Amino acid sequence: MTDAHLLPWTFHDIAAFGSAPHRAAHRLHEQPLFTDDSLAELLDRLPRSVVHPYTMGEDPERSDEWRRGAETDLPGKELLEVVARGRLWLNLVGINRHDAEVARLVEDLYGELRELVSGFDPLEVKATLLISSPTAMVYYHADNQPNLLWHVRGCKRAYVYPRSERFVSREDLERLVAGATDEELPYERGYDEQADVLELEPGQVAWWPQNSPHRVENVDGMNVSLSTEHWTADSVRREHLWTANHYVRTRLGRAPRSTRERGALPAAKVAAMRLGRKAGVLRVGEKRAPRPTFAIDPDAPSGVRELA
């Protein structure tokens, strides 16, 4: 049974929801699901195909050092021990679709969100549980749909950057939203001067506007967070418009002049894009998951053993 009041938000939190980089309170960290024993049990009952291991380097400008690992059959307790002392990041992808307890928790969260935020009625919600090493990080990137980072254990720091041409070009954002490329974006250390820096401790949730570039660094302890992604009518409209602009640029050879998301012209572009996709004329090649280059090894100092 979860707490009936997971979101002790202020009027300021509610007003800022989704519109600006912001940090608010939650009570997820008080739930028994996130103890070591419960997390180990969760890992043991999940299909390991949804437990995606990654490792990374130490330079935030070297996103090429973000690498996928092979599936692991380590027992949950041992896997947590390796993560706690290694340099690993586990993404438990779509966990609300695979575990009833997490699904109920996510339903409770979004039930309260609907009550707090007038007009908020997501079409779909997807949750990913993040379990990561004390010094792990995620490189500079942007996400297609809006998401929230519910921090539960450890300490982390999120850098959120303006959604402007300097920090993410129109071409890069179009490719990302259309699914023609991965989420990573070109990054320079000087960008940090313009970042909103959100320090996250257990019991805090962070959000930022859809498609805002951001990166994350762990600061202390094994980190556990729940990342939820949601689709709304507005966010889907934005996705379709930027996808249509991608096709205008790549198929017609014209640089789209407008990124307006409402009106007759955006609607016409989106309609043409949908017809083209339905007819099979406009297709984005399927992205393949990166080839695993390492295995999780309890005997390795970093928890990483290179594959031949």
Using one digit for the tens of pLDDT, what is the confidence trace for 176-218? 998 888 888 999 999 999 999 999 999 999 999 999 999 999 9
pLDDT at 278: 59
**Whether 178 contacts 242, CB under 8 Å:** yes
- Per DSSP, the three-state class of 161 is coil
In angstroms, the CA 221 to CA 84 distance is 7
**Chain centroid to CA 164: how far?**
20
Locate 27 and state its tokens: 């009570």
Residue 295 vs residues 72, 177, 252, 254, 307: alpha-carbon distances, Å? 7, 31, 44, 45, 7
Q: 225-263, pLDDT tens digit by residue?
A: 999 999 999 999 899 888 888 888 887 777 776 666 676
Alpha-carbon distance of 152 to 226, in angstroms, equals: 8
pLDDT along the chain (308 residues), means of 10: 74 96 97 96 96 97 96 97 97 97 97 97 97 98 96 98 95 90 91 98 98 97 98 92 84 71 64 59 60 96 92
Q: What is the CATH number of domain 11-169+181-231?
A: 2.60.120.650
- Written as one string, the DSSP assignment of 15-51 is HHTTTS-EEEE--GGGSGGGSHHHHHHHHHHS-GGGE
Question: How far apart, in whole angstroms, are the C-alpha atoms of residue 22 and residue 260?
Answer: 25
Name the strand (E) or helix (H) holding 171: helix 170-178
Name the residue with tokens 């939650």.
26
Whether the CB-CB separation of 162 and 138 falls below 8 Å is answered with no
Which tokens in the block code for residue 70?
């092979």
pTM for the complete prediction? Answer: 0.91
**Residue ranges covered by each domain of the chain:** 11-169+181-231, 235-278
